[in-house]
A = this chain, B = another copy of it.
Amino acid sequence: MTEDLYPSRVASKPAWQPRIDPVAHSRWTPEAPISAEQHVMFERDGYLVLENLFSAAEVATLQRELERMRKMPASLETETLIAEPGSGALRSVFAIHAQNRLFGRLAADERLVSVARHLLGDEVYIHQSRLNYKSGFDGREFYWHSDFETWHVEDGMPRMRALSMSVQLADNHAVNGPLMVMPGSQRTYVSCVGETPEDHYKQSLRKQEYGVPDRDSLARLAETCGIVAPTGPAGSVVLFDCNTMHGSNGNITPFPRANAFIVYNSVSNRLVEPFGGRAPRPEFIATREGFEPLTAMGGDLAEGRAA
């Protein structure tokens, strides 16, 4: 059995633990696909914005495909579709790289994969992918979390050697509930409360904090790290480390948000049994079948469109 180096949801009090793993898993060389400055920024801040990585024509192609899918969800596996609670409108599609040729091509794109390989210092595979579409006016917030905490406890990801890339398919404004990150938070592992705290009756207000970071930790982290909301035009990519604390506010503006979200994991960091001791989550949320190194593909996404 693999040793649990990042225990969480087992104690009655939250705890902080320094990260054992590197943030950038390779050294920068002039051959790297990002600049030395970007490498250092990712290591320090736990996130990076690659502006206009995809051209306007490529973005338009991806947006058209997104609209096509929103109108014809029948072509997708039912369990991978997440609808808005109220309207039933399509909000997320999981395993999009496996279900759609164009988004499969995007996930394998050399511009993304080369950066993932460089920062993870290894061959990579796709741990999870999804397409997120958030209409305006009533976008919901996503509370603060470290992805790794969930992936470790619920999916069995052993170490911090994974990262997420969010390809912006709509302009990311400061006002439409963009992703917020706490720069530098990736260096600290905040374990969540699992057992019922001894003095639980005193803390009934914190009930819903089971499985999510506690408020004291978040306040201390925010005090130390600050909070930034990286913005950028459609075609930009926001990438962040698997342990960077992040979340987003709701969105009452009429401006929708849309992004293709791809999680790359090192092939040396493949999943084992979940450390939380329960059955693993389904394949479309966390693959346990696709650990082979991804083959990167070059060229323009706007040519050779998906059927």
Q: How many residues of A contact B (CB 8 A)?
A: 31
User: Quick check: A254 and B219 within 8 Å, CB to CB?
Assistant: yes
CA distance A284 to B149 in the complex (A): 48
Q: Which residue of B lies closest to A209 (CB)?
A: B137
A222 touching B255 in the complex, CB below 8 Å, given contacts A175-B227, A229-B174: yes
Indicate whether A215 reaches chain B with its CB closer than 8 angstroms: yes
**Copies of this protein chain in the complex:** 2
CA distance A250 to B255 in the complex (A): 16
Q: Which residues of B contact A177 (CB under 8 A)?
A: 249
A137 touching B247 in the complex, CB below 8 Å, given contacts A143-B252, A205-B87, A229-B174: no
CB distance from A217 to the nearest CB of B (A): 10
CB distance from A261 to the nearest CB of B (A): 19
Q: Which residue of B lies closest to A180 (CB)?
A: B175
Which 6 residue pairs spanning A and B have beta carbons closest together?
Answer: A219-B254, A250-B250, A222-B254, A249-B249, A175-B227, A174-B174
Using a CB–CB distance below 8 Å, which chain A residues touch chain B? 86-87, 136-137, 141-144, 173-175, 177, 180, 205, 215, 218-219, 222-223, 227-229, 247-255
